[in-house]
Amino acid sequence: MSTTSDFKVEIEKLIGPDDWPKWKWQILMLLHAHCLEGITDGSRKCPVLPADAQPQQKKELTEWQQDDAKAAGIIACTLSKSVAELLLTCTSAKDIWDK
């Protein structure tokens, strides 16, 4: 279950392939509601900082990292234990989504 100050959402845990279509649709709707779909579909790339990064560039990286953590958390909290164990080596929300 994912909550925000505005609304509460309940998504059944992904157990296996039979649950995938409904689970995927629900997660995509939730990611979209939080403007995080670009994190998981790869259209919003992680900023790469140059050696002389400016404060705004550092802020953009921090924001991306926070959004990646939010997206990963939304996905992770809706996975069964057996599915989550398959994803323990993933390091980003996109990695989780693609696997």
Q: What is the mean pLDDT of each run of 10 residues along the chain (99 residues)?
A: 64 94 96 96 96 95 98 96 96 95
Q: What is the pLDDT of residue 88?
A: 95
CA distance 58 to 26: 32
| Residue of 24, 48, 3, 4 whose CA lies nearest to 12 | 24
Q: What is the pLDDT of residue 8?
A: 79
Q: Is 21 left (phi over 0), alpha (psi -120 to 50) or beta?
A: alpha
